[in-house]
């Protein structure tokens, strides 16, 4: 929901309905979403809160996730005091008393994991948050925070796409499997480069995806989303489209079945070389 702002409440509701229609129940937002560099901090949460206000019962149909910890110009603050304030501000904008998942958006190097752990545990103890996770943390940062927590760290939100393979290669997905963490993959279309490839590598990835897309009569985007989801860590591709029709395409995800050969062909196209 990083671009979920600047539209009317009925338009916003139509996007949510399109997601429900495609079988999507997880809605991922953040307090920074809507910020344009000078204004708009909290706008995505505010719009979603307005939708909730006008549609009683809608909130109960979704898994609601939000994030905090980014402050424009600082840039990051994970002190216990700030995280508590950020959560309360998000709940107020969303017009809810509880979110199912709350994640630290970016790691604050200047806050000790013990202090972060206390803040996260307080969120769950007070009932304001169902579960906690992290976003854009390194594997070492995840491990340090996990060691300080008395509750599970249930999710990680890294960038992952056919054009960004780091979580597969650096051990993060293996760690997630080992520790039962959900993966929320952001930018699964490579920031739009999969749809509009501009260099030889991107074109090679697009061609490998197109072979599968043609086989199962789906779009290249759906093929990319399904490629992400096919990893044994079961990454959840976070879809950023603000077009109801494009969101609706996600219902086609179940059509695609990846062979090992086809999946690895996309990975090798991205790497620009064959695997050993």
Domains of the chain: 9-157 (3.20.20.100)
Q: Residue 217: what pLDDT? A: 98
* Interatomic CA distance for residues 276 and 50, integer angstroms: 53
Q: Residue 169: what pLDDT? A: 95
Cα 241 → chain centroid: 13
What stretches of 36-190 show up as alpha helix (H) in DSSP? 43-54, 80-94, 113-125, 139-148, 166-169, 172-179
Which region, left, alpha or beta, applies to residue 193 given φ > 0 means left and ψ of -120 to 50 means alpha? Answer: alpha
Q: What is the pLDDT along the chain (276 residues), one digit of tens a residue?
A: 999 999 999 999 999 999 999 999 999 999 999 999 999 999 999 999 999 999 999 999 999 999 999 999 999 999 999 999 999 999 999 999 999 999 999 999 999 999 999 999 999 999 999 999 999 999 999 999 999 999 999 999 999 999 999 999 999 999 999 999 999 999 999 999 999 999 999 999 999 999 999 999 999 999 999 999 999 999 999 999 999 999 999 999 999 999 999 999 999 999 999 999
- Active-site option among 33, 76, 82, 264: 33
Handedness of CA 105, 107, 108, 111 (dihedral sign): positive
DSSP-based three-state secondary structure for 135:
strand
| Tokens found for residue 166 | 């780091």
Handedness of CA 84, 89, 94, 97 (dihedral sign): positive
* pTM metric for this prediction: 0.95
Beta bridge partners of 156: 134, 183
Q: Residue 222: what pLDDT? A: 97
Cα-Cα-Cα-Cα dihedral of 230, 235, 236, 240, to 10°? -100
Residue 33 bears catalytic tag: yes
Preceding amide of 82 cis, omega within 30: no
* Interatomic CA distance for residues 96 and 59, integer angstroms: 8
CB 224 within 8 A of CB 188: yes
């Amino acid at each position: 929901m990083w671009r979920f702002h600047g539209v009317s409440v009925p338009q916003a509701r139509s996007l949510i309905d399109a997601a429900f229609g495609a079988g999507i129940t997880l809605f991922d937002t953040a307090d920074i979403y809507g910020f344009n560099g000078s204004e708009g901090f909290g706008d995505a949460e505010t719009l979603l809160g307005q939708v909730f206000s006008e549609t009683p019962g809608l909130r109960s149909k979704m898994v609601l996730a939000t994030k905090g910890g980014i402050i424009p110009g600082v840039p990051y603050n994970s002190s216990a005091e700030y995280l508590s304030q950020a959560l309360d501000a998000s709940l107020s904008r969303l017009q809810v008393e509880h979110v199912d998942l709350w994640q630290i958006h970016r790691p604050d190097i200047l806050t000790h994991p013990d202090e972060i752990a206390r803040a996260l545990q307080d969120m769950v103890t007070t009932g304001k948050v169902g579960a906690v996770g992290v976003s854009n943390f390194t594997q070492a940062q995840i491990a340090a925070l996990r060691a300080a927590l008395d509750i599970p760290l249930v999710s990680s939100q890294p960038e992952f796409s056919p054009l960004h393979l780091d979580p597969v290669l650096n051990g993060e997905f293996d760690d997630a499997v080992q520790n039962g963490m959900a993966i929320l993959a952001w930018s699964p279309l490579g920031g739009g480069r999969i749809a509009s490839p501009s260099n030889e590598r991107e074109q090679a990835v697009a061609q490998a995806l197109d072979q599968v897309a043609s086989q199962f009569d789906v779009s290249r985007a759906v093929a990319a989303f399904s490629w992400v989801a096919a990893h044994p860590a079961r990454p959840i591709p976070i879809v950023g489209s603000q077009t109801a029709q494009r969101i609706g395409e996600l219902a086609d995800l179940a059509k695609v079945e990846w062979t090992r050969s086809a999946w690895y062909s996309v990975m090798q196209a991205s790497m620009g070389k064959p695997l050993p």
